[in-house]
Amino acid sequence: MWRIEKFLLLFFLLFAVSLSFAQIQNDSTKNSQQEGNTEKQKGFPVIGLMSDTLFYVHSKIGSFSPEERALHIGNRIKDLYEKDDFKLEYFQVVKSDLTVDVVYGDLILVGVTHMDAEINGKSQEEIAERLKLFIYNYIKEVKEKRKISNYIWRGLLGLLVVAIAVLIFHFINKLFIRFRKRVETSQLKWLHDLKYRDYTFLNIKQELELILIFLKIAKWAVFIILGYIALSLFFSIFILTQDWSEVLFDLIWSPFKFIFISIWEFLPNLITILAIILVMRYFIKFIRYIFSEIELGKLKISGFHQDWAMPTFGIIRLLLLAFTIILIFPYLPGSESGIFRGVSVFIGILFSLGSSSAIANLIAGLVITYMRPFKIGDRIKIGDNMGIVIDKTVLVTKLKTLKNEEITIPNSTVLLGNTVNYSTFAAEDGVMVHTTVTIGYDVPWRDMHNALIEAAMRTGGINKHPKPFVLQTALEDFYVAYQILGYTHLTDKWGIVQSELHQNIQDVCNEKGIEIMSPHYRAARDGNMSTIPSQYLPKDYKPQGFQVNVDHLDKSKNKEAEKD
């Protein structure tokens, strides 16, 4: 019983709110209609027995203004309603000097003027005949509706609507209660923790609380909608509240009606848009097939490289998509509105102001693609950065160094600087591994050449054919600069190969007794150990003692002795 009382309380609360709102809405609608018609047609409404508008009066007769005529006509119709001997035979259409009148006995109800005929586009007699039938049918209908039996029947029908609404509310409430209990008893089976890795967004308890809140909101939303519909039906039963029912129904139906009409009117444009999208989709697929054949080498075009295929397809695809948007834009709903254009301009300004560097990198990426200075897997040097190309996009180039570091370089920087590619010719002849050693003039250059070539031949990553060779690059004040060069195919291990070459140069020079003394190293040989490591020296090696030349002192003593 308490639930029924709550429902009745809610129903009558909605009834009171809807009643006041519908009355305000109805009055505002009538006022707006009267003002709109006064402005457009300069006519005034004739108000009927149920506060409804019957027709409009546009012209004056004599000293009576259109507003006064409309008021008098409404009052005469109300007087006619009070007559008991109401019959159609008593209605007549009488023509006078200026008007054609609708007369009931001796009572003139309406006079139709020449201006009324011009506004309606019909003759005065035709308009008068229509008004005669309209007034008769209207009064007859009102009399039928206001019979006591009709009121009783409508009252019973209203009670039936309320009873059915109560039953529906009770059933829905039971349904929500049962579903809530089912969720609570099956929460461990239906619900699981919502988490990402080690972080839990919602546990089972929180999910259950959210579901219960959602069910409560959904239940009250259903109750309000059903109550709104029940009130509309309840108002539509009684004569005095039928206008309120129409107002309440229009509040819901009008938005949906507008949506349905808009969708129906948009259907031809939608078909056009779908046709454009369908044609462009298959055309792009055809273009993609052509460039995929070029990429696989099946289709060859003179002067067009295989690695250009997919980047070129990306450019053409972007242009085709932009062209598709341009074709579709006029068919979009609201494309001609000022708001739509303003948003488009705003987005364009943001894009142009915020993406200047991105566009520069994008253009540089396209230029680099067609310049073909490197490809993925090549070992290159850009500025001070050396590494293997692991990714090449339209915006950046990514390198992986020997230290397992990833370096991201903007394409605009790549385009403005110099790029050294160590892999271009490595597959055929190999890339040069080289280093420079400076040795004093006391070491014969032929011995140094042989030592450096032997060190290069010991290095596993350097090719034996063609044979490594030596260049003397400089004759400095205190030393000679020797450069050893050898070919290698291991471009991804270039630094490791060079490091091994340095190790072998040290070993060979030590084995051959060659001291690497320059450019900033010197040794006083008298009394000092050799710079060669001890394992490379003879077992009986001893450092040389200090040497002092005293021959000129002995000669002077001998001369003095001879004089004596």
- How do residues 46-89 score in pLDDT, each as one tens digit? 888 777 788 888 888 877 888 888 888 888 888 887 776 677 77
Percentage helix, strand, coil, to 5, in the chain? 60, 15, 25
Which range (5-14, 140-149, 220-229) has the least confidence? Answer: 5-14
| Domain assignment present for 13 | no
Based on the domain organization, do 455 and 498 belong to the same domain? yes
Q: For residues 523 and 436, state if they share a domain.
A: yes
Cis peptide before 333 (omega within 30 of 0): no
Q: Which residue has the higher pLDDT, 387 or 563?
A: 387
| 447 part of a folded domain | yes
pLDDT in tens, 411-429: 888 888 888 888 777 767 7
**What is the pLDDT of the chain when averaged over all its residues?**
78
pLDDT at 402 over 80: no
Four-residue CA torsion sign, 386, 392, 395, 400? negative
Can you give the pLDDT at residue 388? 86
Residue 382: CATH number of its domain = 2.30.30.60
Domain CATH code at residue 528: 3.30.70.100
- Statement to judge: residues 104 and 49 lie in one domain: yes
Strands 107-112 and 396-400: unpaired
Question: What's the rounded Cα separation, in Å, for the pair 39 and 359?
Answer: 57
Share of the chain above pLDDT 70, in %: 78
- Asked if residue 493 is part of any domain, the answer here is yes
Which of 219, 156, 154, 160 has its CA nearest to residue 6? Answer: 219
Amino acid at 172: I
The total of structural domains in the chain comes to 3
Give the residue, 449 or 541, on which the prediction is more confident.
449
Residue 318 lies in a domain: no
Q: Could you tell me if 395 and 414 lie in one domain?
A: yes
When pLDDT is averaged across residues 336-357 and rounded to a whole number, the result is 63
**Per-range mean pLDDT, top range of 3-12, 111-120, 256-265, 274-283:** 274-283
Phi/psi of residue 514, each to 5°?
-95, 120
In a domain, 355, yes or no: no
Looking at the structure, tell me whether residues 448 and 390 fall in a common domain. no
Which of 146, 164, 179 finishes a domain? 146
Among 363, 395, 421, where does a domain finish? 421
Residue 224 domain-assigned?
no
- Please give the distance of CA 521 from its chain centroid, rounded to a whole number: 66
Same-domain status, 100 and 130: yes
For 437-500, give the secondary structure using H, E and C: EEECCCCCHHHHHHHHHHHHHHCCCCCCCCCCEEEEEEECCCCEEEEEEEEECCHHHHHHHHHH
- Both 380 and 475 in one domain: the answer is no
pLDDT of residue 495: 81
360 in any annotated domain: no
> H or E stretch including 388?
strand 385-392
Examine the domain organization and report whether 394 and 479 are in the same domain.
Answer: no
- In this structure, the answer to whether residues 469 and 517 fall within a common structural domain is yes
In terms of Cα–Cα distance, which of 532, 497, 502 is closest to 517? 532
DSSP string, 65-126: -HHHHHHHHHHHHHHHHH-SS--GGGEEEEE-SS-EEEEETTEEEEEE-HHHHHHHTS-HHH
- Pair 383, 475 in one domain: no
Q: Which amino acid is at 247?
A: V
- Do residues 409 and 472 both lie within one domain? no
| Helix-then-strand count for the chain, H and E | 15, 15
Higher pLDDT, 3 or 359: 359
Between residues 277 and 522, which one has the greater pLDDT?
Answer: 277
Q: What DSSP line would sit under 355-373, residue for residue? A: -HHHHHHHHHHHHHHHH--
Instruction: Provide the residue range defining the domain that includes 415.
Output: 374-421
Q: What pLDDT, on a 0 to 100 scale, did the predictor assign at position 279?
A: 93
Same domain, 440 and 417: no
- The pLDDT value given to residue 369: 75
Residue 502: inside a domain: yes
Residues in a beta bridge with 385: 382
Q: What are the tens digits of pLDDT across the range 459-497?
A: 988 988 889 999 999 998 888 999 999 988 887 787 889
- Per-residue HEC secondary structure of 245-313 comes to HHHHHHHHHHHHHHHHHHHHHHHHHHHHHHHHHHHHHHHHHHHHHHHHHHHCCCCCECCECHHHHHHHH
Among 146, 171, 188, the domain boundary falls at 146
